[in-house]
Amino acid sequence: MKKKYSIKLFVCALLLGGTACSVNEEEVVEKAAISKDTLQHIYEMGFGTTDVQVVDGGYLVEGDIFLTDEQLNSQHDQKFLRVGETEQYRTNNLVSVGTGRTIKVAISSTLPTAYVTALDEAIRRYNAEGLLIKFQRVSSGYNILLSKSPTNATYLASAGFPSGGNPYNKVLVNSTYLGSNPGTNYLATILAHEIGHCIGFRHTDYMDRSYSCGGAYTNEGASTVGAVHIPGTPTTADATSWMLACVGTGQNRPFNSNDRTALRYLY
């Protein structure tokens, strides 16, 4: 089968009246054959079916979200997907925290030492919010492991969503593309974003990825599961949210006031 490749390394999007260049999380997209049934399952879970990628163990959707065949074929909770502006969204599955819970995060030696500093900054950002969920970097006994993505990975980083009350346990980071020292705040922004997926957050602009990534307008419409509006978050464009689908090269996105509202509502 002949494979087709499209380069989507830098995408310029019009943000708040000015042009800003963003790094699309699908840098080099390999168009492998994906069945119509698989695409239908992905759509029914509430995810976009544009540029779905076949990766080891499953599929990558929306640039950085990993779905397994088991997830696609499992019975889904029937919930209506609110179609709206740019509110904050979560998945149906969250991390069980009770009266408080510490999530232990480890980083593999396959990643450069500068990534440890960036992870510490990402953890600091979460812990500074006084949430019931907290994070701690450990060397063993982890709940989430950060490690290097395959050399030919076509994304900046990827993660999945919680299950069984526990966070998704793996974040893959494309250090081949990002380099050995991409900048602490920039990398911390990427890692905090992927940790956000691990604890149940969707992309703020899931309803229209063109907002942060450029390209054509897309809105996935109604589906069965996967995007629940978080009350108190805005119904207007939010250009600085840490959970936007794409991030500009070198950009720092600490939590803004709407992000803090979403985090405190859930945790």
- pLDDT tens digit sequence for 165-180: 999 999 999 999 999 9
Mean residue pLDDT across the chain? 75
Give the confidence band of 52 by pLDDT, cuts at 50, 70, 90: confident
pLDDT at residue 138 is higher than 80: yes
pLDDT at 48: 67
The pTM (predicted TM-score) of the whole model is 0.72
Question: What number is the average pLDDT over the span 233-246?
Answer: 74
Chain centroid to CA 118: 17
Fold for 5-266, please state it.
Collagenase (Catalytic Domain) (3.40.390)
Q: Looking at per-residue confidence, does 262 or 97 come out higher? A: 97
Judging by DSSP bridges, how do beta strands 18-23 and 101-107 pair with one another?
A: unpaired
Stronger pLDDT, 7 or 39, i.e. the higher one: 39
